[in-house]
Amino acid sequence: MITLESIKVFGKSTAGNFSGELPFKSGLQVISADNAFGKSLSVTTVAWCLGAETVFGLPDNDPSCFALAVRDEIEFNGKLFAVVSSSCAVSLLHKDGRRLRLTRPIKGDCAKITAEEIAKDGAVRTSVFSARYRTMQDETGGFQYFFFAWLGWPHQKTVTFKGGESEIYAENLLPLFYIDQDEGWTDIQSLQVSRYGQQQIGEFAIEYLLGGLDATAARVAQLRSAQMTGALKEKARILADRVVVGLIGYGWRIEMSSFGSITELADRWQAISLKDILASNFDVDLGKRHSSLRERVEKLRQSLTDAPIDVEDVSAPVSASQRVIELKRRRHRLSEDASTSRSQVEQTEVLLESLEDRLSAAEDLFRLKTIGIGRIDHIECPTCHRDLDPATFALNSQSSESIENHIEALKRDRDLLSRNLVSMKATLSIIYSELEVVSSEFREAERALMNVTSAVGTVREALAQTAAELASAERSIDRVLEISKNIEVWQSEIDAWVREAKGVTFAMTAPSDFTSKKLAFAEALANYLLAFGHSAVSSNNLADVSLNEQYTPMLNQKRLRSLGSASDQSRLIAAYTLALAQASVKVDGLHPGLVILDEPLQQNPDPKHRERFLSFLSKELAKKVPFQVVIFTSLRQGEITQLRRGGVSVVTPEGTKFLTLDARHESTEVPAENTPITPQS
């Protein structure tokens, strides 16, 4: 736990040196000053000195979150003076007595943060860190690496949307204890930085501050597991598509679904043997086919080289011609089949298109009926003014139930038709691939016939035919080898996928001890909501306040929203922020023990809202917080008196402006290492 001891802004202008400082104490305190005093300037200093300007949506080292008064021109006594340089500093006190003063230039080299560590015995050690560049990764020069160590905060990994890792940064935690005036009140964790692509960073931040490091570790494991599952499923889908399409290309259609959980899929695919499937479904044994082709090649080679030739045998031209005729017939039949299938596919596509159009019309009509636009319930005859019943014209209006049923029927038809279309396309692919094989064989047979018929004498005819058959058989062997090789590759890919899927360790569930931390948070939230006077929460339904999986406040399983009053939103955010700090103290979490609320009244003139807020501040729950709460606002004199009478610490800084010219117009901007530190208790 830390305490913010002071905020200081100082610099040099053409009018001279200027500065402003606000001291703080532990517990609850309200800093009340008029608008344009410089409250927001001092609040911004905290985020800036922690190197967390990204919460304002700014790029690294961009000081434009500050007012122009410290960046460009500053007004003194109604005159504007150029700002030459400016810096700001915050002093923090650790609960173990160590102090830290962080100074960062606003106009100047704002990429550096100077940290002065002051030990309990007063020894000072000064270091300069990089504010943003490798702030968490650089163990010697990164500011956040140093700051986390000084606070005793452990480093915690998160998972990014790209599948990589990222740390939890200070700017991820700040939105839970730092609510700025401009954006902080728009939603819970509205300042959360999402641009780093960390997944579920809001949930991570809450678990971290509640000290649920094992819960964050479990969340990382779950996210990794989900990413891994998604990647494995996608890999399986691509692999299944490739294998199915590849086999269709050889004329074999198999079912290889990638549906189901990873475990189910791994079990199912483990049993897959493409060779067995081909043998059982298509009676294909590539090994045997290869052996028989090799035997045939051997025989043909022998008959071509040294086997005796029957000079009386005149069957070669006849058999070559017969083969051409057979192949031509097969090619013709396959062409016809392809034509029929293609036509079926085209018709089904048109039918599917018409179904989509009809479905769209039915869905639009359903919307028309349910929202009631242009519904004509009562039309009368323009002459006799009697009701005209559409039934007289054999017309009727369908009920929305009837249309819903029709939509259901159309959807079923569409699904059925879509599946049929996939099947038809697969069949067409098989026919095409077979047609390609047959066409190639036909061309070979034609060439063989030409050679045989051009040969003179039975011997040459027989030799020509044998040579053609030999060439054909050798090409068949090449084809069988190519198929075998592809099947081996696919099989090895399937086996590798199964091994990978079996090797994945799936996410563990959240450890049970975090439940108590979450319950403490929910309980504190309920109490704070009641104390703040949130319209939806009363002492009767306190037990119904809970937090869902994303730590969103819920009431009776419904999201807790502003019900009766628009200002409920700021009450909800304030209650949520304070409840988290309270719960963290109770469960010994990692919350820094500091809550900064900038203008919780939102300059809202609504008397009830102000009254409820002041009433909250006067309650014991607010006054006896076991952590530091600094509220910057603008109260009326009567309100200040009322709060002080109720024992609330209200600080009203002197003067009309936070920054004033120093008494002696000489430089107060001494180097950071020489700046005297005055410990404050």
Shortest reach from residue 354's CB to another protein, in Å? 5
By C-beta, is 411 or 425 nearer to another protein? 411
Across 6-27, b (16+ Cβ under 10 Å) vs e yields: bbbbbbbbebbbbbbebebebb
E-state strands within 95-237: 99-107, 112-118, 124-130, 157-159, 165-167, 178-179
Shortest reach from residue 428's CB to another protein, in Å? 21
Taking CA atoms, 287 is separated from 115, 300, 484, 485, in Å, by 76, 20, 8, 11
Shortest reach from residue 344's CB to another protein, in Å? 17
Shortest reach from residue 390's CB to another protein, in Å? 5
Shortest reach from residue 419's CB to another protein, in Å? 18
Give the helix ranges, DSSP H, for 250-305.
Answer: 262-270, 274-282, 286-305
Q: At what angle do helices 458-503 and 274-282 cross, to 10 degrees?
A: 130
By C-beta, is 391 or 663 nearer to another protein? 391
Shortest reach from residue 364's CB to another protein, in Å? 4
- How many residues in the shown chain lie near another protein by CB under 8 A? 37
By C-beta, is 396 or 454 nearer to another protein? 396
Single out the segment in contact with another protein by CB under 8 A; choices: 63-71, 192-200, 258-266, 356-364: 356-364
By C-beta, is 382 or 457 nearer to another protein? 382
Give the helix ranges, DSSP H, for 115-169.
Answer: 143-151
By C-beta, is 374 or 671 nearer to another protein? 374
DSSP string, 571-613: HHHHHHHHHHHHHHHHTT----SEEEEE-TTTT---HHHHHHH
Kindly tell me which residue out of 287, 390, 626, 655 binds another protein, with binding defined by CB under 8 A. 390
Shortest reach from residue 418's CB to another protein, in Å? 16
Q: Of the candidates 81, 101, 80, 106, which has an alpha carbon nearest to the alpha carbon of residue 90?
A: 101
In three-state secondary structure terms, 480 is helix
Shortest reach from residue 343's CB to another protein, in Å? 16
By C-beta, is 389 or 482 nearer to another protein? 389
Single out the segment in contact with another protein by CB under 8 A; choices: 246-254, 388-396, 482-490, 575-583: 388-396
Kindly tell me which residue out of 388, 422, 543, 566 binds another protein, with binding defined by CB under 8 A. 388
In whole angstroms, give the CA distance from residue 289 to residue 296: 11
Shortest reach from residue 633's CB to another protein, in Å? 46
Shortest reach from residue 421's CB to another protein, in Å? 15
By C-beta, is 353 or 588 nearer to another protein? 353
Answer whether 532's CB lies under 8 Å from 571's CB. yes
**Residues within window 211-240 making contact with another protein, judged by CB under 8 A:** none
Answer whether 197's CB lies under 8 Å from 167's CB. no
By C-beta, is 62 or 413 nearer to another protein? 413
By C-beta, is 58 or 350 nearer to another protein? 350
By C-beta, is 109 or 364 nearer to another protein? 364
Residues paired with 116 in a beta bridge: 101, 126
By C-beta, is 124 or 379 nearer to another protein? 379
In three-state secondary structure terms, 415 is helix
**Residues within window 394-423 making contact with another protein, judged by CB under 8 A:** 394-398, 402-403, 405-406, 408-409, 412
**Residues within window 495-534 making contact with another protein, judged by CB under 8 A:** none
Shortest reach from residue 489's CB to another protein, in Å? 43
In whole angstroms, give the CA distance from residue 409 to residue 414: 9
**Residues within window 412-471 making contact with another protein, judged by CB under 8 A:** 412
In whole angstroms, give the CA distance from residue 240 to residue 232: 12
Torsion of CA 366, 370, 376, 377, to 10 degrees: 120
Taking CA atoms, 209 is separated from 202, 517, 593, in Å, by 11, 10, 10
H or E segment and range at residue 404: helix 400-454
**Residues within window 618-637 making contact with another protein, judged by CB under 8 A:** none
Shortest reach from residue 420's CB to another protein, in Å? 17
Token pair 């025989």 is found at 299
Shortest reach from residue 339's CB to another protein, in Å? 20
Long-range contacts from 400-403, C-beta under 8 angstroms, 24+ separation = 400/366, 400/369, 400/370, 403/362, 403/365, 403/366, 403/369
The tally of CA atoms less than 13 A away on the side-chain side of residue 234 is 6
Shortest reach from residue 340's CB to another protein, in Å? 21
By C-beta, is 382 or 605 nearer to another protein? 382
Residues paired with 29 in a beta bridge: 630
By C-beta, is 123 or 384 nearer to another protein? 384
Q: Of the candidates 57, 39, 48, 43, which has an alpha carbon nearest to the alpha carbon of residue 104?
A: 48
Taking CA atoms, 363 is separated from 356, 406, 417, 452, in Å, by 10, 9, 19, 68
Contacts of 21 (CB under 8 A, 6+ apart): 6, 7, 8, 9
Give yes or no for residue 139 binding another protein (CB under 8 A).
no
**Residues within window 589-618 making contact with another protein, judged by CB under 8 A:** none
- Binding letters toward another protein, positions 334-353, x by CB under 8 A: ----------------x--x
**Residues within window 357-386 making contact with another protein, judged by CB under 8 A:** 357-358, 360-362, 364-365, 367-369, 371, 373-376, 379-382
By C-beta, is 101 or 406 nearer to another protein? 406
**Residues within window 146-205 making contact with another protein, judged by CB under 8 A:** none
For binding to another protein (CB under 8 A), which residues are involved? 350, 353-354, 357-358, 360-362, 364-365, 367-369, 371, 373-376, 379-382, 388, 390, 393-398, 402-403, 405-406, 408-409, 412
